[in-house]
Structure 1
Amino acid sequence: MGAERRRGRGRTVRAAALLGCGLMLAGCASMPDSGDVSQVKASNPGDSQVRVYPVTPRENAEPDEIVNGFLEAMTGDDPGYATARTYLTKKAAQEWKPEERTTVLNAAPVGRQERNGVREAQDRLTYPLRGEQIASVDSRHAYEPMRNTPYSGTIQLVQAPGPDGQGKEWRIDSLPPGLLLGESDFQRNFRPVNTYYFASGRRWVVADPVYIRQRQDPVTRMDPVAQTVKALLEGPTHWLDPVVDSSFPTGVALKDGVTSLTPDDQNKLKVPLNKKADNIGLDTCRAMAAQLLFTLGDLGSARVEQVELQSEDGGTLCLLGESQKQNYRAAPAGGLVVNPYYIDASGRLAKLEAKAEDVGRPSPVPGPFGDGAVRIGKVGVARDERRAAVVTDDDRHLRVGSIVSDGAAELPSPLVRSEGVRADDRLSAPSWDGRGGLWVADRDPANPRLLYVPDGSEEPVRVTAPWLTDGVRIEGLRVSEDGVRMALLLRKGDKTTLHIGRVERQGTGAKQTVQVVDPQAIAPRMESVTSVSWAGHSRLVVLGKLAGGVQQVRYVQTDGSTSAAVIPGLNQVKVVAASNDESYPLVASADDGIVRLQAGANWQPMVEKGTSPVYPG
């Protein structure tokens, strides 16, 4: 049924129905009053078409039924979690705040007595809860993954007055904070969305992924669109907050009582705000509308092409349409034409046409990087596709030059030189951000450095990276288009893991100070990652191995949650590359050369011999 099950004594405590069925079967109209609960295997975990309808405890229910009934009721979405609260004492029901955090386990939690429960007194029982925690979601809707960390919690029961004030019934008076869900129930109840803010001091957007409820939120009673708007107005997640700004003034919120937002037949969404928004200027209002337009554009369930912000009395504050979104991107020109590049068998930089029906013949780029003047080992192409940064001379030198001008251009002088003794201990593949800045790591064990080259041509700036110590080595890096996040492949010992670091800057040009801080492990269950590429505003495509598994290509969100998109298997992959524009195919290098994966198709050969495929960035 797509929902996790538990085994326990007493009557069944969960009913589920499939949405979209024209009729409800008569057998679903009532619940049995006795009999064991049978194990039911889940079909598709996270199936959003499954609804769970929890039931209240029966009279004189046994302690096992109360514990497991409450755990089941937490997976429902009835208003205010009213059913779940019937399993609690009056005081516990008032104090329980399911919205403050969600703890996600790899399987549905089960309350089990140890030797028929730990009886502390005649009228008190404690039930241990055990499991493997894989993630948590905080009150700002931010998802944090973890590598199967042992979870331990307790539920305490007491004898409390019955619903009619007569007699005694077992009820829960102490419980873990927030919600406690198995992964399947979490995926069924929650969905990821991107909220958007502006890079600090800039007017281009940065994606900040969060989780909202799939359907109406039990606490706020808001539909998914209203939930998403509310999450945006509350501000960025704690990790991203130091490097982004919101155009919404402090205190601006949805108008009181607004719980549902629906686009009209022209795909325009009207968003009524409270009085705090009444006196905002037009530029600020348009920036607010841009944040909403980007955010709602990623929601998927509702198509929004225009956003109209309204004052509390219903007046129009401003209007912004889809055609104006380009004004708020970090690299609008770079998103118009996107081509993948690779290094051919002769060490030259060549361009491909990944979207063409017939892949055709690759063409070496104009200039010294395509005419064989130097043998290229690694490459990064600027987002405007006018320049490339290449690593040459056995990974010792970083050079930047034009890839659009014809003629006998001279080989550019090196901007960076590594003194590493071995080629593997020299320069990483370079990466460009949407500001025109260039990034590269020098992996010399005697002098490990992370370097930033403003405008790809100025004096390199040494980046502060306090975590680049104690044997940590940068195997690879890819910078986001917005320039405030960096995907890092960090090696320590024999493991290479994927992290996201936050890019913080002060000043401008060669005088600026830059640091990459607070790297977060976002694929803790992958024990080895060999290649990573940005594949959207908050999505990465990753080549690596799960613990105990085989090599695979998969999508990972920047918050560490995995994407439901399936990528067909490919043997002996070495590098994988993606475009920020998700309509473009994946490109990879394998034993069979350069291959591509278009939507709805299988991997297709492009070039028999070649290495290091990259999209601009």
Structure 2
Amino acid sequence: MTPYARALVAVALLVSLCSACVGLPDSGEVQVGDDRPTSAQDSGFPYDPRPPQKGEEPDEIVGHFLDAMLANPTTTAVAKQFLSSSARDSWHPDRQLITYDDILTPSGNDEVSVTLLGAHHLDARGVWRGELPERQRTLDFGMTIEDGEWRIDDPPDAMVVSDAFFDARYRQVFLYFLDPTAKVVVPEPVFVPTGGQLSAVLMRALLRGPGPDLRGVTRSYIPDDLTLDLTAPVSANGLAEVSLRGDAAPLDPESVQLMAVQVVWTLRQDPSVRRVRLTINDTPISVSGTSSDLDVAMGEQYNPVGPGAGRDLFALRDGRLVSQTGSGVVNQTGPFGTEAAGLEAIAVDLSGTRVAGVTSDGGSIRLAPVSGERERATTVFSGGTDLLKPSWDVSGRLWVVDRNSGNAEVSYVTRGRRHPVRVPGVTGENITRAIVSRDGTRLVAVLREPRQDRVVLSRLAVDGSRARGTRARVIHGDAEERTRINDIGWYSPTEVVLVRSLSDDLSQVTTFSVDGSRAVSSANVPVELVRDDIVSLVSSPVPETPTWAIAASGEVHELNAELDGTFPAEGLVSLTYAG
């Protein structure tokens, strides 16, 4: 680390000593404050940056400008003193937040350049956008002279802070919107400032909506243009009063229900909130059959993990479908349970009533009821080359990826019909694993490249029989690191579990957030080394569900020993949970 960077990081660490009692302004966007310190909420160790000094050179002005962004209480008052009079009015630091691991000493005169190392960025909504593009990692500051002193005349419209500062002052939370069918809520991770009133931070972020990138992927039932009236105070007995104002047309009962679901699912992240009193322009909003106070436990039927067969395992034994609840193994009575059907991988729908199986030649998928002696199996997908294990979503769509000799094709099957889906960054690529979230809005895939494997994410939008995927972006994997990923699975609705080989007899299992950030929220995250050649994972987004690692030899390893799960019975293969 450069001496200059060490100085800035030292400041950030000093501020973070009291990070638990320090806050930034109450906003879900990348808010950096205004000209006034928010002292009421930023109690704790203060840091008052030094304003411009007489005779400072351009590189010093820029260096101290970056330092001023670490002020506590949070304020841009000092930072703006390093800007020219015109730049103070045109600077918009809330448009982007940039973090860096290291920074090179500013250099230049009429234009000062600063190169950031290990830089990442977030947009104005607090959404993690991953690595800062290489061409943007050198920041240029146009300089001018005012009243005989150097000032910055063209600053980047961004807040630029060290990783240490960001880690201490921001947290990952989830905003809940609805999937296009309004069957389940969809969690969207964003970063918000720590400190302050969490309920107000969450509500302001939720009111901004899902953003244009998610058009067709999710939707909000909260009317546009509503704003939070001051704060969202929480009483001693856990009642959060959410007062919204703005132009809002009358809402039908279904929209009221779905809006309330969004609010309570989002606010339940604040441990002090037990009930919510929601008003629009002083008019109480209530859900049919309830009081005007909403219990934060309401709306469980919209859980993003969907309905389902719970924690039951499904598998093949001697080629026939079985299920395991606890230590008991049950032979299923459907077509795949009464006779071997030549399947190599199975996927059970979320209700636990239908099972799709990939045939042993990897070219077809057959569908049958899990139980029912007189039921029949049908072929719903044929002509494939190397089909991966499919995924079910809450709408009953069966998502299929055909590796197709390194030229992957994505599609989904519903009502016996196949619908191709173009997913830039996945379609036509060498894909070795793929999973779709239960809410049907996320496709996560392992992209095999010559030197390493990387994990990519695309958001899925389905409108009737038409579907599209956003361009896939990398959410896990270092381009400089040579690694092979053996399998991935869902660990929660917003986390993926991954296994990779370190050697012939050593594997590493870890989890990561679907946004690609460093944040991981689960309490029982398996991050460990397994002394075996792990080739597949059996996992579920349902909380408190054991995750199993399967070795090439067939040996099963438990990854959540604290959950005390019952080991799968001997002789079971193609293990899976519903989904």
Give the TM-score band, short-chain normalised: 0.7 to 0.9
Match of 1:18 in 2: 17
Tell me, yes or no, if the aligned pair for 2:176 and 2:188 is still in contact at 8 Å. yes
Match of 1:516 in 2: 469
> TM (normalized to structure 2)?
0.81
Residue among 69, 78, 93 paired with 1:74: 69
Tell me, yes or no, if the aligned pair for 2:121 and 2:132 is still in contact at 8 Å. no
Please report how far the alpha carbon of residue 343 of structure 1 lies from its aligned counterpart in structure 2 after TM superposition: 4.3
Which residue identity does 1:137 align to in structure 2?
L
Tell me, yes or no, if the aligned pair for 1:101 and 1:139 is still in contact at 8 Å. yes
Match of 1:529 in 2: 485
Inter-CA distance 568–466: structure 2 relative to 1 (3 Å threshold): closer
Query: Is the aligned partner of 1:598 residue 2:560?
Result: yes
Q: How does 1:445-464 map to 2 (within 5 A)?
A: 445=405, 449-454=409-414, 458-464=415-421
Inter-CA distance 418–314: structure 2 relative to 1 (3 Å threshold): closer
State the distance in 1 between where 2:376 and 2:285 align: 57
State the distance in 1 between where 2:72 and 2:321 align: 55
Please report how far the alpha carbon of residue 96 of structure 1 lies from its aligned counterpart in structure 2 after TM superposition: 2.0
* 1:6 partner SS: helix
Match of 2:404 in 1: 444
State the distance in 2 between where 1:340 and 1:563 align: 29
Match of 1:333 in 2: 307
Match of 1:226 in 2: 200
Match of 1:379 in 2: 346
- Cα deviations by residue, 1:68-100 (Å, 9 ceiling, x for unpaired): 332222234534322322333333333222211
Which residue identity does 2:158 align to in structure 1?
G
- Cα deviations by residue, 1:130-178 (Å, 9 ceiling, x for unpaired): 12354221112221113884611123444444xxxxxx44443332221
Which residue identity does 2:349 align to in structure 1?
A
Tell me, yes or no, if the aligned pair for 1:103 and 1:180 is still in contact at 8 Å. yes
State the distance in 2 between where 1:607 and 1:172 align: 68
Which residue identity does 1:182 align to in structure 2?
S
Please report how far the alpha carbon of residue 486 of structure 1 lies from its aligned counterpart in structure 2 after TM superposition: 1.9
Which residue identity does 1:154 align to in structure 2?
D
Tell me, yes or no, if the aligned pair for 1:433 and 1:482 is still in contact at 8 Å. yes
Please report how far the alpha carbon of residue 286 of structure 1 lies from its aligned counterpart in structure 2 after TM superposition: 2.8
Tell me, yes or no, if the aligned pair for 2:365 and 2:379 is still in contact at 8 Å. yes
Inter-CA distance 70–453: structure 2 relative to 1 (3 Å threshold): same
State the distance in 2 between where 1:385 and 1:538 align: 22
Please report how far the alpha carbon of residue 292 of structure 1 lies from its aligned counterpart in structure 2 after TM superposition: 1.1
Residue among 108, 132, 149 paired with 2:117: 132
Residue among 183, 194, 208 paired with 2:163: 183
Please report how far the alpha carbon of residue 274 of structure 1 lies from its aligned counterpart in structure 2 after TM superposition: 0.5
Please report how far the alpha carbon of residue 282 of structure 1 lies from its aligned counterpart in structure 2 after TM superposition: 4.3
Q: How does 1:286-305 map to 2 (within 5 A)?
A: 286-297=257-268, 299=269, 301-305=270-274
State the distance in 2 between where 1:314 and 1:198 align: 24
Residue among 556, 561, 574 paired with 2:535: 574
* 1:187 partner SS: helix
Match of 2:360 in 1: 393
Tell me, yes or no, if the aligned pair for 2:364 and 2:384 is still in contact at 8 Å. no
Match of 1:306 in 2: 275
Please report how far the alpha carbon of residue 182 of structure 1 lies from its aligned counterpart in structure 2 after TM superposition: 2.7
Match of 2:323 in 1: 351
Tell me, yes or no, if the aligned pair for 1:286 and 1:319 is still in contact at 8 Å. no
State the distance in 2 between where 1:610 and 1:62 align: 73
Please report how far the alpha carbon of residue 321 of structure 1 lies from its aligned counterpart in structure 2 after TM superposition: 2.3
Please report how far the alpha carbon of residue 110 of structure 1 lies from its aligned counterpart in structure 2 after TM superposition: 4.1
* 2:350 partner SS: coil
Please report how far the alpha carbon of residue 378 of structure 1 lies from its aligned counterpart in structure 2 after TM superposition: 0.9
Match of 1:109 in 2: 103
Q: How does 1:20-169 map to 2 (within 5 A)?
A: 53-57=47-51, 59-60=53-54, 62-63=56-57, 65-105=60-100, 107-113=101-107, 118-120=108-110, 126-146=111-131, 149=134, 151-161=137-147, 168-169=148-149
Structure 2 residue runs of 5 or longer lacking an equivalent are 22-41, 287-291
Inter-CA distance 594–497: structure 2 relative to 1 (3 Å threshold): same
Tell me, yes or no, if the aligned pair for 1:472 and 1:492 is still in contact at 8 Å. no
State the distance in 2 between where 1:228 and 1:175 align: 30
State the distance in 1 between where 2:408 and 2:133 align: 32
> TM (normalized to structure 1)?
0.76
- Cα deviations by residue, 1:555-587 (Å, 9 ceiling, x for unpaired): 222222133465222232222233222322222
Which residue identity does 2:211 align to in structure 1?
T
Residue among 381, 384, 388 paired with 1:416: 381
Query: Is the aligned partner of 1:478 residue 2:445?
Result: no
State the distance in 1 between where 2:16 and 2:441 align: 44
State the distance in 2 between where 1:368 and 1:463 align: 28
- Cα deviations by residue, 1:309-335 (Å, 9 ceiling, x for unpaired): 113347556543244312434675317
* 2:336 partner SS: coil
Q: Give the CA RMSD over aligned residues.
A: 3.7
Inter-CA distance 13–87: structure 2 relative to 1 (3 Å threshold): farther
Please report how far the alpha carbon of residue 492 of structure 1 lies from its aligned counterpart in structure 2 after TM superposition: 5.1
* The structure with more radius of gyration: 1
| Percent identical | 23
Which residue identity does 1:614 align to in structure 2?
T
Inter-CA distance 584–466: structure 2 relative to 1 (3 Å threshold): closer
State the distance in 2 between where 1:265 and 1:611 align: 53
Match of 2:180 in 1: 200
Query: Is the aligned partner of 1:615 residue 2:577?
Result: yes
State the distance in 1 between where 2:397 and 2:20 align: 54
State the distance in 1 between where 2:242 and 2:152 align: 41
Match of 1:252 in 2: 226
State the distance in 1 between where 2:329 and 2:69 align: 56
* 2:261 partner SS: helix
* 2:265 partner SS: helix
Which residue identity does 2:461 align to in structure 1?
E
Which residue identity does 1:309 align to in structure 2?
L
* 1:518 partner SS: coil
- Cα deviations by residue, 1:186-243 (Å, 9 ceiling, x for unpaired): 2222222111112224343222222211224xxxxxx332122111111103322222
Tell me, yes or no, if the aligned pair for 2:225 and 2:246 is still in contact at 8 Å. no
Please report how far the alpha carbon of residue 470 of structure 1 lies from its aligned counterpart in structure 2 after TM superposition: 8.2
* 1:540 partner SS: strand
Please report how far the alpha carbon of residue 18 of structure 1 lies from its aligned counterpart in structure 2 after TM superposition: 3.1
Inter-CA distance 147–160: structure 2 relative to 1 (3 Å threshold): closer
State the distance in 1 between where 2:73 and 2:82 align: 14
Inter-CA distance 467–158: structure 2 relative to 1 (3 Å threshold): closer
Inter-CA distance 250–90: structure 2 relative to 1 (3 Å threshold): same
Tell me, yes or no, if the aligned pair for 2:15 and 2:165 is still in contact at 8 Å. no
Please report how far the alpha carbon of residue 392 of structure 1 lies from its aligned counterpart in structure 2 after TM superposition: 2.2
Inter-CA distance 503–59: structure 2 relative to 1 (3 Å threshold): closer
* 1:400 partner SS: strand
Which residue identity does 2:488 align to in structure 1?
V
Match of 1:220 in 2: none
Please report how far the alpha carbon of residue 388 of structure 1 lies from its aligned counterpart in structure 2 after TM superposition: 1.6
